[in-house]
């Protein structure tokens, strides 16, 4: 068993005391006067443990520690920090930088021996890297050691810079897709890939964001989306929303070369995918960098996902996923004030599903929920992206139509009526339920300038009941 211990300290007295204590317990002791000499000795001699001071000339303990823990030739060597610094910050940074143990110089000799013996045993049980036999280590000089330190510090600084950018992007995003897009744009600056993508799946739904670096053909892009969903192990039929940034084209890609890295997210599964243009260059230069960032990327995406869910819980109706009553009414008030300020048209459409109680009584409340959910989706698809739709209460829905006068709102309501009627809801037992609704339309132009949103909704409500009285599945006026 390797029982060599390297002691690194600029004080001859301290080195002599440490060496005597360790030799008395059966350890072979190597000595170095500063961090640079300690690095050369550690890389050449491969001791079982390094015991080092922090404050030393030429190179102090922190750069030595970072070099030993970052360099493949020495990363397996345990490091014990032994210093007069007793403050919490010194201990924290030592351990965060990679130290395996920490003692202050007022230690009892038995503590030192016990700590070193434990680290020697752990080192003996750890696997040894093939790079340790590298003959180049025997010719290391001070310049080569400093060059290694600079290289590893540059790599750490690069990773820290990317991490900081990832965190900034995550903090600035409003939802999962914004955070995912910002993260992919950051990674695209250090990963030479044809595309990058991230995906997160919850119990019954998935979210996929893809950033194209090359104009990939549509068929490969569709296959990629399916592959990402498959890697998330989504249940069959689960809803997956995929967003792509970049223009598709005619570039064929080898999807079997895609690199898949799992992302650890709470109560969900996640994956990072990218296709390097040169897989050999990728493995040699940035593979370790990206791999080291996955935990931070997962944290950014997870926080954005949970923030999005929290926002949805406060703004969306839980069943239909449309705006809830409070939010749709607040938005109506905002749009009404904006229309008055700019003297522009604005209308509302109030919708009530026909014979909904009969659906519940005939097929059950779960079927009624399905009708509301699918019916709301059909209504949403018939509206413009600038229109607002919310569940006003029970089986009633309110649509707010900015920049639309009464005639335009009547046409929009007719599209809603036809869209709903042509979208029967298929229940789990295979039965199809035909759904219709009645619609009341009202416009800002029909109100006095001092009247509130209540008046506008009340007018639409009266017309809705006129449509009901006239036979249902109608639009009024």
Q: CA–CA separation, 8 vs 18, rounded Å?
A: 10
pLDDT at 123: 85
Q: What is the pLDDT of residues 264-314, one digit of tens each?
A: 888 888 999 999 987 775 655 566 677 778 888 888 888 888 888 888 889
* Residue 389 pLDDT grade (very low, low, confident, very high; cuts 50, 70, 90): very high
Domains and CATH numbers, the chain: 4-140 (3.40.50.2300), 172-303 (3.30.450), 325-476 (3.30.70.270)
Higher-scoring residue by pLDDT: 62, 378: 378
Q: CA–CA separation, 31 vs 54, rounded Å?
A: 15
Q: Give the range among 52-61, 156-165, 466-475 with minimum mean pLDDT.
A: 156-165
pLDDT at 130: 45
* Residue 22 pLDDT grade (very low, low, confident, very high; cuts 50, 70, 90): very high
Contacts made by residues 314-317, CB under 8 angstroms, sequence distance 24+ = 317/390, 317/391
Contact present, 426 and 434 (Cβ < 8 Å)? no
Rg from Cα positions in the chain? 33
pLDDT at 147: 64
**Mean per-residue pLDDT of the chain:** 87
Sequence-ordered alpha helix ranges (H) in 196-276:
218-231
Could you tell me how far CA 311 lies from the centroid of its own chain?
16
Q: What is the pLDDT of residues 321-366, one digit of tens each?
A: 999 999 999 999 999 999 999 999 999 999 999 999 999 999 999 9
- For the segment 57-77, the average pLDDT, to the nearest whole number, is 85
- What size, in residues, is the chain? 477
DSSP structural state of residue 216: B
- For the segment 128-142, the average pLDDT, to the nearest whole number, is 53
pTM of the model: 0.58
Q: What is the pLDDT of residues 416-460, one digit of tens each?
A: 999 999 999 988 788 899 999 999 999 999 998 888 999 999 999
């Amino acid at each position: 068993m390797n029982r060599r211990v390297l002691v690194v300290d600029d004080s001859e007295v301290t080195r002599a005391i440490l060496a005597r204590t360790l030799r008395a317990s059966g350890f072979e002791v190597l000595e170095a006067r500063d961090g640079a000499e300690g690095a050369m000795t550690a890389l050449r001699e491969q001791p079982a443990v390094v015991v080092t001071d922090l404050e030393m000339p030429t190179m102090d303990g922190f750069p030595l520690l970072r070099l030993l823990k970052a360099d493949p030739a020495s990363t397996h060597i345990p490091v014990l920090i032994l210093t007069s610094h007793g403050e919490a910050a010194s201990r924290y940074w030592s351990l965060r930088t990679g130290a395996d143990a920490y003692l202050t110089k007022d230690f009892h000799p038995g503590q030192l021996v016990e700590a070193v013996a434990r680290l020697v045993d752990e080192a003996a049980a750890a696997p040894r890297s093939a790079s340790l036999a590298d003959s180049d280590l025997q010719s290391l000089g001070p310049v080569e050691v400093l060059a290694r330190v600079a290289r590893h510090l540059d790599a750490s600084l690069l990773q820290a810079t990317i991490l900081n950018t990832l965190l900034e992007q995550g903090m600035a995003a409003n939802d999962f897709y914004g955070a995912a897009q910002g993260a992919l744009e950051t990674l695209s600056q250090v990963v030479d890939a044809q595309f990058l993508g991230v995906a997160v799946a919850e119990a019954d739904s998935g979210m996929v964001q893809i950033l194209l670096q090359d104009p990939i053909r549509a068929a490969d892009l569709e296959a990629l989306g399916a592959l990402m969903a498959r890697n998330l192990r989504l249940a069959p039929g689960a809803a997956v929303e995929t967003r792509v940034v970049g223009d598709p084209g005619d570039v064929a890609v080898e999807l079997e070369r895609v690199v898949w890295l799992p992302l650890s997210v709470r109560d969900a599964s996640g994956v990072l995918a990218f296709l390097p243009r040169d897989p050999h260059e990728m493995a040699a230069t940035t593979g370790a960098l990206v791999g080291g960032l996955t935990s931070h990327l997962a944290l950014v995406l997870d926080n954005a996902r949970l923030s999005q869910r929290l926002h949805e819980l406060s703004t969306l109706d839980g069943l239909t996923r449309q705006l809830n009553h409070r939010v749709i009414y607040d938005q109506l008030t905002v749009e009404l004030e904006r229309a008055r300020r700019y003297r522009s048209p604005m209308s509302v459409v109030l919708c009530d599903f026909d014979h909904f109680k009969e659906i519940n009584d005939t097929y059950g409340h779960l079927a009624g929920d399905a009708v509301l959910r699918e019916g709301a989706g059909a209504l949403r698809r018939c509206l413009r992206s600038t229109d607002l739709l919310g569940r006003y209460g029970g089986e009633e829905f309110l649509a707010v139509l900015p920049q639309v006068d009464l005639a335009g709102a009547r046409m929009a309501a007719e599209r809603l009526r036809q869209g709903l009627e042509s979208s029967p809801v298929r229940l789990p037992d295979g039965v199809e339920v035909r759904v219709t609704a009645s619609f009341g339309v009202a416009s800002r132009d029909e109100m006095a300038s001092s009247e509130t949103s209540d008046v506008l909704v009340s007018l639409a409500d009266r017309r809705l009941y006129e449509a009901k009285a006239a036979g249902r599945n109608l639009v009024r006026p």
